[in-house]
Amino acid sequence: METVTFPEKEVVDFVTENVIPLRVAHDQKPLSEEFNVKWTPTLVILDETGGEHHRTVGFLPPEELMASILLGIGKMHFDREEFKEAIEVLNRVVDEFGSTGVAPEAIFVRAVALFKSTNETSHLKNAYEVLSSKYPESEWAKRALPYRLL
């Protein structure tokens, strides 16, 4: 990634503003074993206790990498039931990185966070409608299929 993604100023600024990066080689023990890093690059989004919330394996272009990082941050908030924060971050993924591969997952997780924070099923149905129209082949459109019945 050093030759493609990380030298980009936009990526450096984004990483610096949003996460605390730690570089660990796939064969650097014990950390590589502790975090189940089998291949490089592996990007793992952890919280301050070391709990994992998102993982990406393989090289990504800048836009995809930044979107994946934001998705991981959003999922961390979601996992901690910090739904307001999760929704804000996931909105950024959708608004700023809507053409990336992680956008469908962000739409799905955002809808569940909205539902959990309001108990309104309309958020789930809306997610199905958006996913089925914009990302019909995504696994997230398939996962949202039952929401069409709401």
For residue range 43-82, list pLDDT tens digits in order.
Answer: 889 999 989 999 998 888 999 999 999 999 999 999 999 9
For residue range 113-142, list pLDDT tens digits in order.
Answer: 999 999 999 999 999 999 999 999 999 999
**What local confidence, expressed as pLDDT, does residue 4 receive?**
58
**What local confidence, expressed as pLDDT, does residue 11 receive?**
86
Q: How far apart are CA 46 and CA 86, in angstroms?
A: 15
- Annotation: CATH topology of 9-149: 1.25.40
pLDDT at 26 over 80: no
Q: How far apart are CA 82 and CA 19, in angstroms?
A: 18
CA distances from 119 to 4, 88, 94 (A): 43, 18, 22
**What local confidence, expressed as pLDDT, does residue 2 receive?**
57
The upper half-sphere exposure of residue 126, i.e. CA atoms within 13 Å in the direction of its Cβ, equals: 12
Residue 5: pLDDT band with limits 50, 70, 90: low
pLDDT at 24 over 80: no
Residue 92: pLDDT band with limits 50, 70, 90: very high
For the chain, the structural domain boundaries read 9-149
For residue range 31-44, list pLDDT tens digits in order.
Answer: 888 888 888 788 88
Q: Are 69 and 41 in contact (CB under 8 A)?
A: no
pLDDT at 3 over 70: no
Q: How far apart are CA 128 and CA 135, in angstroms?
A: 10
